[in-house]
Structure formats: structure tokens, C-alpha cells
Structure 1
Amino acid sequence: MPPPPDWWSLTSEEVLQELRARPAGLTAKEAEERLERYGENVLREEARETRFQVFLRQFKSILIAILVIAAVVSFLVGEPQDAAAILIIVVLNALLGYTQEWQAGEAIEALKKMLVQRAVVIRDGEQQEIDAAGVVPGDIVLLEMGERVPADLAIVEATSLQVDEAPLTGESAPVDKAPGRLPPGTGLAERSNMTFAGTTVVNGRGQGVVVATGMETEFGKIAGLSQLVTAEATPLSRQMDVLGRDIGFIALGIAALAVVVGLLQQRGLLEMFLVGVSLAVAVIPEGLPAVVTLTLAIGIKTMMQKNCLIRRLPASETLGAVSVICTDKTGTLTRNEMAVVRVKTPGAEVAVTGTGYAPEGVFLLDGRAIDPGDYPGLRQFLRAVLLCNHATIAHDGVGGWRIFGTPTEGALVVAAAKAGLSRDDAPAAVDEFSFDSTRKRMTIIYREDDGDVAYVKGAPEVLLARSSGVLVDGSVVALTDDLRETIREEIAGYASGGLRVLGAAYRPLPAGLPRTADAVEEDLIFLGFAGILDPPRPEAAEAIRLCRSAGIDVIMITGDNPLTAYAIAEDLGLPSEGALTGTDLEALTDDELEERLRVTKVLSRVTAAHKLRVIDILSRKRAVIAMTGDGVNDAPALKKASIGIAMGIKGTDVAKESSDMVLVDDNFASIVAGVEEGRREYDNIARFTRYLLSSNVGEIVAIVGGLLLGLPLILIPVQILWINLITDGLTALALGLEPAEKDVMQQRPRDPGEPILTRAAFTIILALGALLGLLTLYVFSGLYHIDLDRARTMAFTGLIVFELYNVLNFRSFRFPLHRIGFFSNPALLYAILGSLALQVLVVYVPVFQDFLGTAPLTLADWGLLALLGLPVLLAGEVYKILRSRGGNPRVLPTR
């Protein structure tokens, strides 16, 4: 098929001719042939992973691979119970990860809605309602208010037609549509003679001829682009793979070294092979993958309470690593509810309070509440915008209000309602001249007691040019050139402040005046103009302040007007040196744009390609980027970003499928709450990873130390597995529930390239691990020559007791226990008690004694172990005191 022409550069007649279509529509036979040729009008989605594929993906980890190898080796050397224990934990870990991810996918499916279900077309000269999947190029589609556009259309007829194109272009204001020819280079957002699949008619009606369907639509092209973008691996996934690789090498190295040393000591080969297996098992933290998965799963539940639906387990932690948030404006930073915030009449200027579409608020003059009825000019203005209007407001029955009509017209109706005005006592309307993009005004004529009156609403500069008088304090005065210029400057001031400006005028119509638009809309009496704004969410400013204190850069990326975007940024306290448009971006080199992004935080009129470029440039500095979006134009960037965040309310299905997280309430503040939770998750993962590794170091020191001293094997493999999987697992999981540190949102974002095992962490792991191992070695060496089973039980139990002291150290390495509160994590206390209870069972219950090779201990033995463990806790507390004197380099100075 040859490439399609630039449909917007053709007249509607030329489009019909090109498509071999006609106003009476296609015949049923033609439609059937074209459906066979072009295919169904549906988007090709990436196939959802099967349950089995999601399950298999849980095994794509180096650490998991090492555990499977350890299980195979254990089985081959005659330790089937060890192999079974390892495989059970691997499978349980996979099942848990699978369950969480599949449930997230099911939640996404529940959020999805069909973009278009039905469409009204003309076929065989008659209107027919058909499944939108059956729409084909050349079909004539009828458009009515409230309907979604089923395909890309060239406008053939239009009456007051306005379309919400935010899902495609990001433009928050409805776009006027009318037939006509446009220059070949006209951009997507300026193609006023076309409507696009996935957009919604918010006013008027019209007809269009289908020029593209399915994946050939603008919507489909961007959806296809998003499928070509490869999702980035999360920082945690990369770090855990590096950790797993390092642990694997260390395990092999230590095991091999031990075997060599033993053979040099003339020990038997089978004995040394058993020692080597024991050391390999000791090195590998078998419980780590399960604890990470459980912690992330618990975090996902917490995230959901914060309105963040996580689609992939590691994504919740990635959110905590974010250093740049690229956020949409409309509905995310703002309420997505247009509201009149100021009204300027020739006699007064008032501010209007209230939020949303609820008809509740007051009018303020110089900060003082007034009754609009006491100001004739203000009341007449509000009456005019109410009568020259088709929007209505209604209570939704559950505590909220909604509008029917365009958001701008709805805002004017709400403002009039705040003044106590309604259409209940309105006179009869007798004529109307609809709004279009050329006239930029609309008029409705009403029959009142003193004759017909025309009420006009539209662009204030257009109304001003057609006016001869103004209403001041209830009296009409002549509109002089000086006064006209003053009003123009006032209008410009509103526009430069980011307000959408709409004016109103009226005219009592003399008898015999021709009822044409040109005749009626002359010699008007100008009433004033309103400043309309999609107001910022009240919590957004605090969320941005919190981001700044946390060292997170916020960049507003929107398809909206740059003046509006910049004004919203100022209101929210987002500092920016001006605003960059998509055209500006194209004129800058990558290096120049990188430099501008340091100071300019507002990007407007941007395309999907622009967003991808911004992500690439920000990624140069290893930034972890969160990108929000709702439209299909956002999908490629959502997939490319470190974490893509789709809107749950106004987001398209394509955006949700391309994201890592769905924002259930579309609220920027929820992202920041998610960042705080993500930081807590990572801190806790680092805590229990280091804790588990310190425990493993203790096991290695004890085993290797015993080997060098010529002692029998201190711990057998099954005992090491018991420690790593059960007792350490319980306490590590409880560490995953540790509350966030009080200054977690005053710390700079962590470097995504920084390993979990930093130099400081490695040092403390070795120091405390060595202390655990030496204490265990001390206990064993004093008893093994008397009773080997009792000595091994004392070492086995002692190591667990020492680790239970040690876990308290890893709650924080900045604050001592009395600062963080001994009872602030009750789950950890329960885990410590539970671990002790399990060890009591192991020591005294015969079936466990047989399985784990233990012998009963006396009360004095337990008391000795409790006393020997105290230095472990003391060492950690001393370390915290010494370290706290140097401060925390990650905590940012107060801005």
C-alpha cells in the first residue's frame, strides 16, 4: 500500500476522492472488502505473559541459579534433606513472586476499559451503529458530544465541534475542529481539520471520513513505538545479580581453599568434600531471595494503600531510588477541573474561591467577601456566561459534582452557581450562533420582557473589537480608545499569568434587526472577562517541596500551553528559568539541552520523541528517572524510564500496559509517598542483606577456624541450612518491616551504581561476622573433646543466639537502640522470640534432634550463651556512637 497523503493538507472533498468515498457512505459490500484489506480497527497489544512465563521469570537471578546448583551438589554428596530444603525455599520464593506479579496484572486488567466500543457510521445511505472494530477507511462516522472517536478522521462537517485530545497530545484545553485545508507541515496538535482515535468529543457534533484505522492511526503508531522500546532492568535487580555473582565466586573459592588445606593436613578426601559443601552452604545466604521477595511483596501492599499499584516486584524499590521525576501537569499536579479563579469587569475585579465543580465558594473584593448581587456589572457578567452556555452540573450522588459539557463552559456555570444563579428562571432561547474556531465566539438570543437580548461569549479581544460600550455600575458608558487599550492590557496580564481568558458581552436587539451573526454580534456592550485555571492540587506544592528536600529533581513535561505550564510551576514552588517548548528542544544539541535542564524545569508542547530524548539525556548522569503519563503518546517514555508511572483514572490502556506502576488516584503527592516507601524498602533490604551476610561470615569463620585448629566439623550442612533459612530468615524478614528513618526524605537519592555492599558495610559485616565466628569457635573448642554432639549443639545454638543479638545492630548503623526505640519494630521482637522457641524445639524434641544432630542443653548452657552474646550488641552500639560524630553525608542541608 503506498504511503498515505498528508490528509490535513487536503480539503474534505479531496479526501473523499482519494479514499473513493462519498457523503452517503460506503456500501455494505465495500465495507466488507475494505475490512478484509485493512484489517480490524483494533490496536495490536503485546501478548500478555502466560502464568507459566511469569512463574519462570522468577528464576532469572544469579542467586537463584547458585541455590539450584547447591541443591544438586547436596543431593549428589548424599545429603538429600539439604537439597530438599534448598529447593523448597527456591520454589516458595518463585511462587510468591509469581502470585504478586500475576495479581498486579489482574488489577491492571480490571482497570482497563475499551477505548471505543461502538461507532455510528453512514452505510448504504443510512445511519448504522456498529462495533468500532469494524470501522474501515472511507467510512463516514458521525460524532456527538460525549463519544470517543473510533479512528483517525478528516472532518467533513462540524457544528461547534470540540475534542479533548489530551490522551494523544497532552493538550488540556478542548480543541476546536472544522473542515478545511491546512499547510503540509502542520503539527499533530494543530491539525484542526482532523480528529484522532482515542480522543473524546466534548462539545458539538460533526461528521468525518475515516483515513486510518488500528495500528495506522496516530494512536496506533505511538503504541507500536512503545513496543520497540526495551524496558530497563531495575537497580535492585542489577545489584542482586552482582551480589549473587560475587557470592558464587566467594563460595567456590572458600570451599576449594578449605579442601586444599584439609588435604595438606592429611584429612580424608570425603571428609574434606563434606567440609567444602558445608562452607559453600555457609557462604550462600539461602534465605535472601525469599526475604527480598517477601519484603517487596509486603511493600507492594503498602504501596497500594498509598494509591500506587506496582506491576513488577522490584519496581517498588526502584521508586525509592528515583532522582528525577518527569511529571505530567494536567490531573497530576493539577486537579483536571477547570475553575474560574478571577473575574474582571469594568467596575471591579474579584477573586473566586472554591475547588472542583462543587458550586461552593465566595467572591472576594480586596480580600473581603461580597455578595455578587450588590455589583450589577458582576452579576450581569455571570448571568451572561450562564445563559450563553450549554454545560450543566449535577451531583453524582456520592458526594461529588460532575459537569456535562466542556470543562471551560462547566467552570463558568459553576461560577454562576456560586453567585446563586441558575437557568431555572431563564427566559426562552429563540436563536443561536454556534462557536467555531474562526469566529471565536458564540451567541444565544433570549426573549426577555423588554425584547430580545443577545448574550455573547468568546475570546475577549474578539468581543472587545465588536463592542461600542461597557457596563459600569449598572450603566452603559462609551468604550473609548484609551479604555479599550486598558482592557486589552488587562486581558494580556491574565493570559501571561497562565489563565485561560473568556469574555462576555450582551446586546438588547432593536426590532427589525436582521437575525444574522454579523448583524447581531455588532455594537455589543462589553461585560468583562474571567480567568479560568485548572488549579493545582492542594497537596502538590508540599509534595514538590518534599522532593526538593530529598534531592529529587522535578521536571514538568506537558503538552499544554507554555504560559499556563509555567504559571502552574510558579504556584507550586517549582523553580524554573522559563519554559522550553518542543520546538526549542529540537533547536538544542544534546549537550545544550542537558545544560538547560539543570535550570529549566518546565517543558511544554512536547512529543513522544521529545520525551524519549529527555530520558536519554538525563540518563547520562546515571539518573533514576520516574516518568508519568496517561496518553498513548506517553507509552514509549513510560517503558524507557527507570520506572514508568501511568495514570489509573485518565490513563489509556496502552499507557498502563507500558508502565511499571499505575497511580490509582492520578495524584503527584502519591508518587512522593511511594518514593518514601521505596526508600524504606531499599534501606531494609540493605539491612537484612548485610545482616544475613554477617551471619554467614560467622559460620565461615567458625568452620574455617576449626579446620585450621584441627577440630572436627563445627557445623554440619543441615544445621547451617536451618540457621540460614529458618532463624535468620525470620529475623531478616522482620528487619524488612523496620520503620523508615525520620530523615529518610531529607537524604539525597542513592547512586544506582552503588552496591549494597559498600566499603563501610563490608567492613562492619566482616568485623561483626568475625566476632560471631570466634565466639562460636570458643564455645565449641571447650567442649568437643568431652562430648562432640553437645559441643556441636552449643556451637549451633550459640551462633543463633549471637545472631539474634546481632540483628539488633542492623536495625540502624546511625542511631543507637534508645534513639530508634526498642519496641518500634514489634515484628522483630516476635521474630527473635520465635527463633528462640524454634531452637528450643530443635534442642529438646527427639524428631528434630535426629534430623539436625542436636543434644539437650542445660539451663546453665543457655545462660552462658546469653552472656557471651552481649559483646556483639555492645560492639554495634559503640560503632554507632563513633560513626554518628561524623554525621551522615547522604543527609542534605535544609533548603
Structure 2
Amino acid sequence: MFTGLTSGEAKEKLLKYGLNEIKEVHTVSKKEILLRQVKGNYLILLLFLASVVSFLVSEIITSIVIIINIIFMILFGFFQEYKAEKAIAALKNLLTPTVLALRNNKETTVDVKELVPDDIIFLRDGSVIPADCIILVQKELEVNEAVLTGESLPVQKTALQKEITNKNLIYMGTHVVNGKCTAKVLHTGMNTKYGKIAYEISTIEKDIPLKHKVNKLATIMAVIAVSLSIVTGLLLLIQATVITKEILVGILLVVISLTVSCFPEGFPIVLTIALAAGTNAMAKKNAIVNRMSSVEAMGSVTVIATDKTGTITKGEMTATKIFVNDQLIDVSGSGYSKDGKFFIDKKEISPHSNYDLNRLLKAVTLCNDASIALNSNNSFEIHGSPTEASLLVLSSKANFSKDFLYHHSPKIDEILFTSEKKFMSTLHKTKTGTVQFYKGAFEKVIEKCSFYAKDKRKISLTPELKKSLHKQNEALGKQGLRVLAIAYKENVNNIEDSNFIFLGLVALSDPPREEVKDSLLICQKAGIRVIMLTGDNEHTAAAIASQIGLTGKTINGDELTTLNDEELAIKLKDTCVFARINPEHKLRIVRLLKNQGETVAMTGDGINDAPALKEADVGIAMGIKGTDVSREVSDIVLKDDNFSSIVSAIEGGRTIFSNIRKFTTYYFSCNYAELFIIVIALILGFPLPLLALQILFMNMVTDDLPALTLAFNPKSSDVMEIKPRPARSNILNKHLLFLIIILGTVMGIGSLIAFNHGLSYGLDYARTMAFFTLIFFQVFNAFSFRSFRKTIFHIDIFKNKWLLGASLISISSLFIISYTPLNKIFGVIPLAFTHWFYPILMALSIIIIADIIKLIYGKKSYLFYN
């Protein structure tokens, strides 16, 4: 009926009209990112004030060093934020939407952005409409236009008759909620209705609770840092025997330097980097993060509610058995290859010589919404449901062609398949009249049948015969096969739903993925429960569950419907397989699990799964077989539809949160140590143990850099061996606060001892000892934070190359400022060779203390996570 465009015509139109995409109204430029580092940054203003004051009192070198510190902070923030922006932007391009279009007179999958005016496209329920189009042919088409009109009720559409009206137009950004259509592209990109009002439409990212937690924590620590810095200033004033301009300036510089060093200004940047690094790592394992808000929840998941087909199983449906005319026929072949033969009792038969088999193969070809195209490998490229496609592959083994059969038996009417109805039906015109086929779940088909096809005739479908067919269906299901029933009725004028002739059964094999068993074991170790939700019958579902080691009770949708919420809540505790489930059942199950305090990750692929995907703590859509709508509303999209990718995503979520806790605890333990040594020294009557520039140096070299590298920490081998942390747990719990205080105190006392030891060689020498000791403490402390559970002897210290690099920079910088003219600027004195061992050996104690804490906690070390 339609020919569509040729590749050449499409290319010309693409050059003329441009890509079919909505251009971003506003993108963040490098200049804006740079300005963000300065605008509203009170720490930089404080440092600038300190630089001006230093310059006015002729401390030119100090002023220059502070300016260098300011430049470092601005550039550090700029490069990290720019990198994070680029990484997050890249995630958005990992999944390219596609649409089925008619090109070169063939159905072809085309990238949505390459659509052009006059393209012919095919849409069905679940499709997001990729351009403004005119409807050419439609069946039961309803479209949700809420994104444009705000009206949530679906709008019924009609095909073009004479004039173009709103009734026969569909618009970019809206989506098909029911039915299907063939449409012609009218406008693309910024010329669409959606494009013209793009500036009014903003895509708002879900709020990220993790950011709120970090900002709240940073605010609290900032108040503490400022307060203790002021206390330090007052103590210095009390110690001063005389008050001069120089002394006041020195005290001001120390207060500002201490505030800047301990103020967690880099936290939001490091958090963004940690999220970006983690989500990119997840993307490499086929889990694409749609919403950053899901990352924290992913690490807290306690229940995975997963589909079976294509997620637990391979999703490569192969028809392996046919039951027709009281005979069980085996079919050879695998996957989507057309190579295969038909056997009865291991003897090959010709499908064309078996009347009822011949009729059944025609039925599954005509009553079918999918399409297949043979490629150079003698395998088929499929468009549509894998189940439907496998039936076309089955009929192709008998050399049946859908196009040929449709030419001789054109479709007059149809009832589309939905997960609620669990059947589809088509009405065809034939040479002798009409025929209606009925295909779907066994229980849905058998109840519509009054007759049975046997030996080229129909006989009455007696209760005994029905019972026998039930047993055959059950036997196939117990082998883990997905079973479809086929029926037909001849010489009908309109679609009917009774008195059909039962034709037979087709059993489809879809074996479990090899890696699923191991993934389930990982979930068990990690304290995560897995439940399977499927539209298949309970026998098939239970057989697949048994094959992968998923143990527990099975319940079907009919039984579930009879239970009230209290009864179902009890059943949920020991049921692992839910069969013949529809989207409403899924939504109810998710809500009840959440009411029980579970954090639920839910998979879905259809448009009707959208409510359950939204309701779940983490909605996971299928990237291959999922509808456009399910992918849009989900938090995470699986590129490979694989259950193991869900487990990898949970592992990624746990790793991200663990890394955030590690760099947070490290950061504050170091800050606490810096405050501790200064405040305690002054209380005990010691001179100031650290100078302002030394504090600023640590801020540049040993605070921010190692903390950032901990954000890139590779996953710990035991991250999936601890129970899930509570969804609303804070970044710092009481156990981590205890760790900060203990380690910070150890570093502070150790540095103070070094300072006291150095006083016998002079104040500058003592400050050098304290300064170097504290830097070595912080370097070794960073390595301890590679893991909350493993001691240093069980950590591969070379695995985090970024941390190794940051440590080498920190240690090398000590030698540089010791043995170059920089020593005068930073107020350090080259240490005697033997005195280098003092700060190193003293600092090594932090590793010993950290390991002792880990060993004391032992199996309770999960408390650092929860």
C-alpha cells in the first residue's frame, strides 16, 4: 500500500531539514562553569581578603601563595565540574531511540533523530511519537497528549479521510497508550509542535536526596570549622603578650587558612564526580542511569521483582514442540535461524502433508503482529515481540511466508494483544469466505472453544477432551516451555468470541541465561530477595524458577485477585513466583512490599508497567524489548535486558555510596586532625604548631586530591557480602563519627608529639616536624580508607592508581619544598636524614590503629555501611 522513501531521498531530506531533535534551550558553557567557581564562593572571598591584607603589610610572598591557592581552587573546581558535566551528558546519548520505518520499500529500524518528512513509520501501544505525523491507517488508536495539553485522558484518533485535522494528527513527545497505526511524518525537530514550545517545557531531574545529605553535612561541618577557627584566633590573642598590627595580621591569616582548609567546599564537586564515575561504570555493565536520584536507592535494594522472559531467560524464543491432532510434534533448530525440521517419534515429516499442522502454521503466521527479515547469516532480524517472531520463524521452517499468506488472505479486522487480555485475534478474507484465528494463553483460548480439530474435521470438545488438553498443556509447562493455544472459526462476518475450533498448542523454549544462577547466589549473599513476576502459567514459571535455583511458593494472578491486602502481604513473605500476572498486580505487589519496609527494584517493559515502574524505589526498563514509555519513566534502562545487569547495577549503587562514605570520613578525619593539633597545642600553652601557608598547602595537596581519588575507588570484592543499608541512612552514622574522632585524634596527637620533639631544635624545625608528620598521616590514612572491612594486608594498594598518584604528589611535594627556596616561603627547615624516619614511622601508626578498629569490629564492620 505504501512505499516510503528510498535511502537517497531520506539522505537529501536530512540535509534539507536537519536532525529530528529538540535543541537544548540552554547549555552550560565553560565560561559559566568557571564563573560558578567564584560566584557566591565565600571561601575564595576570604582568601582574597587574606591576600590583600598580606600585601598591605608587605607580606608579598604570602600574598602570592594565597593567590596561587585561589587559582588552584578555581581550576580544580572547574576541571572536575566540567568533567562531571561531560560524563553526565554522555550518559544521555548511550540509548538512541529507534522507530520502525518504511525505507526502500522494506520495514527498517531507523534512529529517531534520522527521521525526515514523508517517512512512513509504524507505531503501537507504548511508542513515544517521534515527530508530528498524519495518521494513514489505525486500529483502536488512543494517544496521551498530556505533555502538550495537560489532559491526562487518552485521545481517540482516526485515519486521514479528506482534511487534516487534530483527530488525524499525532504529535512529537506524546505517546500511544492503545492500538497501533501507520503514519506519515509531517514535521521534525524544532518544526514540530513540541519543538516550537520547547522553551516552555523543561525536563526536571528528580531531586537527589544524596545531594541534600551532603549539603546538610557540609553546612554542619562548616559551622564547626568556622567556630573552632574563631576559637583558635581568640586563643592566639590570649597568648599574645603584645598586640601589634603584624600579630593581628598573622592571627587573621591563621584563622582564614584554618577555615578554608577545614571548610568542606569541595564536597558538592566530589559528590558529582563520584556519581558520574559510578554511573559511567554502571553504563559499561549495561545499566544506563536515567535519573541520578536512583543511584542511592539502588544501593539499598532489598527486593528485586523481575520479569522472566528475556531477563531471567535468554529471550530467544524457539518453538520446539507442537501438539495438534492428538500428536506431539518435535521441531529442531534454535534461536531465529530458519534451519529446522519437524518430527513425530523421531521420524521426519513434511508439514505440508499433515493437514492440521499445515493449518496451525498458517494460523500462527496470519495471527501475528511481528515481522522478520532474513539476513546474510540465514538468521532473521526481528521486529516486534520475540514470541510472535519465533512463530514466524517456526512457519518459515515449512517455507511459509507472511507476505505471501497475507496477499492471499488479507486481514479484515483484529483484536490486539494486551497483557490484561492475554490473547489476540485476527479476521481474514479467504477464497472460500472468511476465517478468524484466536491465539493466546491456554485458559483464555480453551474457554472460547466448543470444538476440536481432528483428522480434517471438527468434533465436540467434551469435558474429557478438555481435561486431556489441560494435562497436555500442564505437561509442556512443567518442562519450562511457554505454551500458546491456537483456535479458529470459519465463515464469520465480524470478530466473534465463542464457538471456536481448538486447533492445537505451540510450546516455546526460552532457556535461562547461564549467568543467572550465579547472580542469584550473589543476591542471597547480599541479603537481597528475588521474586519473579511473569505472564506465563504457573507450571512454566515454576519450572524456570527451579532451573535457576529460585525456591519458594508459586501463586497465580487469579488467586492473587481473590486475596485482600492483608492476606497478600502474608503470602508475599514466602512466595517467589507470581504467574499470570498483569500490570495492576505488579503495582499492588510493589506497594505492599514497600509498606513492609522493603526497598524495591522493579523491572518492566510494557506501557502498562509504567505505574509500577514509577511506584518502585528503582524502576528498571528493558532497553531491547521495552516500550519507549517504559524507558522514559524508569530510573535505569538495561541495554541487554539481562538479570545479571540488575545485580551489577546494585553493586554499582553500593560502590558509589561506599566511596562517598570513604572520602567523607577521610576528609573529616584529616580536617579534625588539623583542628585538633592547633587547638590542643594552644590550650596546652605551646606555640602555634602550623603556619597559615602550611595549612593552605595541606588543603591543596593532602585534603582534596586524595579525597577525590577515593571517589574513583574500584569496587570492593566484599561489597555484595553485606546486607543492604537502610534507604534513609545518613552519610555519616555514629560508627563513622567514632572512626573520624579516633583517627583524627591519633593523627593530631602524633603530630603534636612530633612538634614537641622538634622544639629542642627550634620552633621552625618543630613546625616542620609537625607539618611533615601530619602530611604522612593523611597519606597513609587514605590507603586505610580503601576498605572499611579489610586490613592493609588484604588490600591491593596498587588497584587505585589515582590514589597512588595523589600520594606520590603529596610526598614528592615535601622534598620539593624542603630542598628548594620554597622552604623559606612555607617556613620549613630541611630535616636531618634520620629525622625523616620520625614522621614516617609515627604516621604508620594510623594504619595500625585503623586495622585494629577493623579487627575489633570484625563481622560487625557492616556497621560502617549501615
TM-score normalised by L of structure 1: 0.68
Is 1:421 matched up with 2:398? Answer: yes
Of 634, 641, 653, 1:678 maps to 653
Distance in 2 between the 1:723 and 1:479 partners? 90
Of 764, 771, 775, 2:746 maps to 771
- Matched position secondary structure for 2:507: strand
State the match for 1:835 in structure 2: 810
Does the Cα contact within 8 Å between 1:327 and 1:557 map onto a contact in 2?
A: yes
1:676 positional shift: 0.9
Q: 1:629 to 1:382 in 2, by over 3 A?
A: same
State the match for 2:770 in structure 1: 795
The number of equivalent residue pairs is 768
Q: 1:330 to 1:876 in 2, by over 3 A?
A: same
Map 1:671-710 to 2 at 5 A.
671-710=646-685
- Matched position secondary structure for 2:555: coil
Map 1:547-562 to 2 at 5 A.
547-554=523-530
Q: 1:594 to 1:866 in 2, by over 3 A?
A: same
- Matched position secondary structure for 2:758: coil
Distance in 2 between the 1:574 and 1:867 partners? 54
Q: Which whole-Å deviations, capped at 9, do the CAs of 1:698-718 have from their partners, x for residues lacking one?
A: 212221122123333222233
- Matched position secondary structure for 2:485: strand
Does the Cα contact within 8 Å between 2:603 and 2:613 map onto a contact in 1?
A: yes
Q: Which whole-Å deviations, capped at 9, do the CAs of 1:713-734 have from their partners, x for residues lacking one?
A: 2222332232233234443344
- Matched position secondary structure for 2:255: helix
Of 297, 303, 307, 2:282 maps to 303
Distance in 2 between the 1:99 and 1:634 partners? 35
Provide the aligned C-alpha RMSD in A: 6.0
1:242 positional shift: 2.6
Distance in 2 between the 1:230 and 1:891 partners? 31
Q: What amino acid is aligned across from residue 653 of structure 2 in structure 1?
A: G
State the match for 2:484 in structure 1: 501
Is 1:878 matched up with 2:846? Answer: no
Does the Cα contact within 8 Å between 1:326 and 1:628 map onto a contact in 2?
A: yes
State the match for 1:85 in structure 2: 69
Q: State which drifts further: 882-891 or 794-803.
A: 882-891
Does the Cα contact within 8 Å between 1:747 and 1:890 map onto a contact in 2?
A: no
Does the Cα contact within 8 Å between 2:72 and 2:700 map onto a contact in 1?
A: no
Q: 1:322 to 1:669 in 2, by over 3 A?
A: same
1:837 positional shift: 1.8
Q: What amino acid is aligned across from residue 224 of structure 2 in structure 1?
A: I
- Matched position secondary structure for 2:484: strand
Q: What amino acid is aligned across from residue 531 of structure 1 in structure 2?
A: A
Distance in 2 between the 1:812 and 1:403 partners? 47
Q: 1:542 to 1:719 in 2, by over 3 A?
A: same
1:306 positional shift: 0.5
Q: Which whole-Å deviations, capped at 9, do the CAs of 1:836-890 have from their partners, x for residues lacking one?
A: 22322222232x3354333333322212322323332222233333322667569
State the match for 1:780 in structure 2: 755
Q: Which whole-Å deviations, capped at 9, do the CAs of 1:431-469 have from their partners, x for residues lacking one?
A: 5375755895767979xxxxx999996448579957576
Distance in 2 between the 1:424 and 1:46 partners? 43
Q: 1:315 to 1:398 in 2, by over 3 A?
A: farther
Q: 1:112 to 1:703 in 2, by over 3 A?
A: same
Does the Cα contact within 8 Å between 1:789 and 1:855 map onto a contact in 2?
A: yes
Of 552, 570, 583, 1:606 maps to 583
- Matched position secondary structure for 2:728: coil
Does the Cα contact within 8 Å between 1:286 and 1:721 map onto a contact in 2?
A: no
Query: Unpaired segments of 5 or more residues in structure 1?
Result: 1-42, 120-130, 136-140, 169-176, 180-195, 209-213, 215-219, 447-451, 508-514
- Matched position secondary structure for 1:321: coil
State the match for 1:193 in structure 2: none
Distance in 2 between the 1:229 and 1:621 partners? 32
Map 1:507-586 to 2 at 5 A.
528-532=504-508, 537=513, 539-540=515-516, 542-554=518-530, 570=545, 573=550, 575=552, 578=555, 584=561
Distance in 2 between the 1:362 and 1:71 partners? 81
Q: What amino acid is aligned across from residue 321 of structure 1 in structure 2?
A: S
State the match for 1:402 in structure 2: 381
Q: Which whole-Å deviations, capped at 9, do the CAs of 1:562-591 have from their partners, x for residues lacking one?
A: 869966984663756635689959x967x8
Does the Cα contact within 8 Å between 1:307 and 1:664 map onto a contact in 2?
A: yes
1:673 positional shift: 0.7
Distance in 2 between the 1:351 and 1:531 partners? 10
- Matched position secondary structure for 2:765: helix
Of 703, 707, 711, 2:686 maps to 711
Q: 1:782 to 1:649 in 2, by over 3 A?
A: same
Distance in 2 between the 1:331 and 1:531 partners? 16
- Matched position secondary structure for 1:531: strand
Distance in 2 between the 1:425 and 1:634 partners? 30
Q: Which whole-Å deviations, capped at 9, do the CAs of 1:592-614 have from their partners, x for residues lacking one?
A: 87666656675943369x85x87
Distance in 2 between the 1:65 and 1:582 partners? 61
1:167 positional shift: 14
Q: What amino acid is aligned across from residue 485 of structure 1 in structure 2?
A: K
Distance in 2 between the 1:112 and 1:254 partners? 52
Is 1:760 matched up with 2:742? Answer: no
State the match for 1:31 in structure 2: none
Does the Cα contact within 8 Å between 2:777 and 2:846 map onto a contact in 1?
A: yes
Of 470, 494, 498, 1:489 maps to 470
Distance in 2 between the 1:57 and 1:659 partners? 33
Does the Cα contact within 8 Å between 2:99 and 2:122 map onto a contact in 1?
A: no
State the match for 1:343 in structure 2: 322
Map 1:28-427 to 2 at 5 A.
50-51=27-28, 67=43, 71=47, 74=50, 78=54, 81-82=65-66, 85-86=69-70, 88-89=72-73, 92-93=76-77, 95-105=79-89, 107-108=91-92, 111-113=95-97, 198-199=175-176, 232-266=206-240, 268=243, 269-285=248-264, 288-310=267-289, 316=295, 318-325=297-304, 327=306, 331-333=310-312, 338-349=317-328, 356-359=335-338, 371=346, 373=348, 382-388=357-363, 389-390=365-366, 393-397=372-376, 401-403=380-382, 408-416=387-395, 421-423=398-400
- Matched position secondary structure for 1:357: coil
Query: Unpaired segments of 5 or more residues in structure 2?
Result: 1-19, 55-62, 104-114, 147-155, 159-172, 416-423
Distance in 1 between the 2:303 and 2:709 partners? 31
Of 805, 812, 828, 1:854 maps to 828
Q: What amino acid is aligned across from residue 217 of structure 2 in structure 1?
A: L
Q: What amino acid is aligned across from residue 285 of structure 2 in structure 1?
A: K
Distance in 2 between the 1:342 and 1:353 partners? 9
Does the Cα contact within 8 Å between 1:202 and 1:406 map onto a contact in 2?
A: no
Q: What amino acid is aligned across from residue 880 of structure 1 in structure 2?
A: K
State the match for 1:868 in structure 2: 842
1:798 positional shift: 1.8
Distance in 2 between the 1:767 and 1:401 partners? 64
1:761 positional shift: 1.9
Q: What amino acid is aligned across from residue 862 of structure 1 in structure 2?
A: W
Q: What amino acid is aligned across from residue 421 of structure 1 in structure 2?
A: A
1:396 positional shift: 3.7
State the match for 2:13 in structure 1: none
Is 1:812 matched up with 2:787? Answer: yes
Distance in 1 between the 2:633 and 2:857 partners? 44
- Matched position secondary structure for 1:551: coil
Q: What amino acid is aligned across from residue 274 of structure 1 in structure 2?
A: L
Distance in 2 between the 1:58 and 1:756 partners? 29
Q: 1:416 to 1:363 in 2, by over 3 A?
A: same
Aligned residues: percent identity? 28
Does the Cα contact within 8 Å between 1:339 and 1:355 map onto a contact in 2?
A: yes
Does the Cα contact within 8 Å between 2:446 and 2:502 map onto a contact in 1?
A: no
Q: State which drifts further: 291-300 or 53-62.
A: 53-62
Q: State which drifts further: 309-318 or 669-678.
A: 309-318
